[in-house]
């Protein structure tokens, strides 16, 4: 019997996988527990439509991240911070601060995508943005005294 898994099933497959399984296993376990659905022509169309929507969504996200990559690559982001003796900051410049500074440039980047050490001194520092798998952008974070 051909079924499509509605959830991950240990030993059988992951959600969305179409499997050929024995009738008893399908009827007595997968279907009864709501873990799978019998594959019909309508279900196959539904799966194909869902896959097409997912691919389109993925392509839109990739093109959006590509635009951010091209706009930010090598950019200098300036952040003003309170400074104490010898150029040492009160606190630190964090991922969230960098994401906010990038937002002022007109690009939306999640703070979780910023990779850098916390900045505790005035000056220029490198930061890497992981925008998309295989698409990283280097920016320069310039910290100035407020």
The closest of 125, 78, 115, 69 to 100, measured between CA atoms, is 78
Equal CATH topology for 2-63 and 67-145 = no
Q: Which fold has domain 67-145?
A: Ribosomal Protein L9; domain 2 (3.10.430)
At 140 the pLDDT is: 95
Would you kindly state where each structural domain of the chain is located, as residue ranges? Answer: 2-63, 67-145
User: What one-character-per-residue DSSP string does 82-121 give?
Assistant: -B-GGGEEEEEE-HHHHHHHHHHTT----GGGEE-PPEEE
Residues 51-93: pLDDT tens digits? 999 999 999 999 999 999 999 988 999 999 999 888 899 889 9
0.85 exceeded by the pTM?
no
CATH number of this structure's domain 2-63: 3.40.5.10
């Amino acid at each position: 019997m051909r079924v499509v898994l509605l959830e991950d099933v240990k030993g059988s497959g992951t959600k969305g996988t179409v499997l050929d399984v024995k009738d008893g296993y399908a009827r007595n376990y997968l279907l009864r527990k709501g873990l799978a659905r019998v594959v019909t022509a309508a279900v196959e169309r539904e799966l194909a439509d869902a896959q097409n929507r997912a691919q389109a969504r993925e392509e839109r996200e990739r093109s959006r991240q590509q635009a951010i990559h091209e706009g930010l690559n090598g950019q200098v982001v300036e952040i003003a911070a309170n400074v104490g003796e010898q150029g040492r900051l009160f606190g630190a410049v964090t991922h969230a601060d960098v994401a906010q500074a990038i937002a002022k440039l007109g690009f939306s980047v999640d703070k979780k995508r910023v990779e850098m050490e916390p900045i505790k001194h005035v000056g220029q520092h490198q930061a890497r943005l992981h925008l998309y798998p295989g698409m990283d952008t280097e920016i320069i974070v310039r910290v100035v005294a407020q």
